[in-house]
Structure 1
Amino acid sequence: MSGLAAQMKNFNKGVMGQGNFAQARRHVPSPVPTSQPSPAASTPGGSGNGASSNPNSITKKKKPIKNNVVYSQPADTGMGQYIMTQVLHLVEHLKEVEKPLTRLQLEDFLQKPLDSTMVRVLKDHEKLVYDPVSDSYAFKPLHNIRSAQQLLTHLQASTTAQGLSVKELKDGWSGALQTIDELEASKDILVTRTKKDGQARMVWINDKSLNVSIDDGNSPQS
């Protein structure tokens, strides 16, 4: 019986101890919560170190700054500029001679053979006409006119009254101005000229059938 009494005594002491513990917990003041950082402080650029004070926040590693500089190839390695310079010389030469020249004649002018790149550029050039039969190149003017008869034929076939620009005629025809002066003197064409220096600007065909002599009334009557 003494053993049972001892067990009851220990049980009561445990219960009383738990009650005191619960009572003690009710009287312990709650810990003061730490102030949480404001959203502005935790955002990049905000004041304070809110991101580091939050134990639940995940520290992000800064990404390395990429170099946005693009290193492109040189705009010109020298060879491209050399080829275009040679092509320009050939185009001007063909414009001056005003006749087709073969590949051998062009090579003689340059004093060097034409490589495959230059040949391709010449064939595709907008100011040149290539003849595969004779393997020759000719300058292509704005108007295929290089003689007085060709000029008259072109003006007669024109269906507009706008006339033809002398500046365009001079493109690829070195004798344009002299021929215009001659056709104007023979009254085959009409020419407008600048007031400052008298340079020809525009030309038209002169339809002589429209030239009608008018009697001024002073002619003697029969």
Structure 2
Amino acid sequence: ADLTGKTVLDIGCNAGFYSIEMKRRGAARVLGIDFDEAYLAQARFAAEIADCEIEFQKLSVYDVGALSETFDVVLFMGVLYHLRHPLLALDLIREHVAGDLMIFQSMQRGSTDLPEMEENYHFWTHDLFDRPEFPKLHFIEHRYADDPTNWWIPNRACTEAMLRSAGFEIVLHPEQEVYFCRAAGGAASGGPVYPSKGQRHD
């Protein structure tokens, strides 16, 4: 409710709705990034009409390291499922720009149950993958909802596992597809916290 003095990065800002809302809640600096010039033009126009001083840049999520700064709040809403490389994007956010809080949303499909997962499974364990609640990232080869940019749609267990794997701690789950996360281990300046995988079969 009160973002006085905070810095905010809105990744995939689209037409600027969340950027404007963050500024209205007192954020000292808001930067919205998107790779689509049409969305950025809408965002700049909306911010001007709303009389909000917001910076907008054309930038891909894969290039957030070029910003060379961390933010108190990172918004990553409605972007993950539009990416060909979603886990890479989360890793880069954690490593380069997530100073404290990330507010995350992704479309989800499939089971909403959270399975009890072991740390390791034998190579010949097959039935595990047939369980609907097992973490799954569904690949869309062509279109979903008439949108060719919908590439990967996770179930709930997959969403939460990906966030943890990228070095985020889930602290709040206020809605089915929304998560409030903190950079695990404190500030993100130390880079991602990757779980140990041990030996792998190549």
TM over 0.5: no
TM bin (shorter chain):
under 0.3
Q: 1 or 2, which has the higher strand percentage?
A: 2
Rg larger in 1 or in 2?
A: 1
TM-score by length of 1: 0.22
Whose RCO is larger (CA < 8 A, sep 6+)?
2
Q: 1 or 2, which has the higher helix percentage?
A: 1
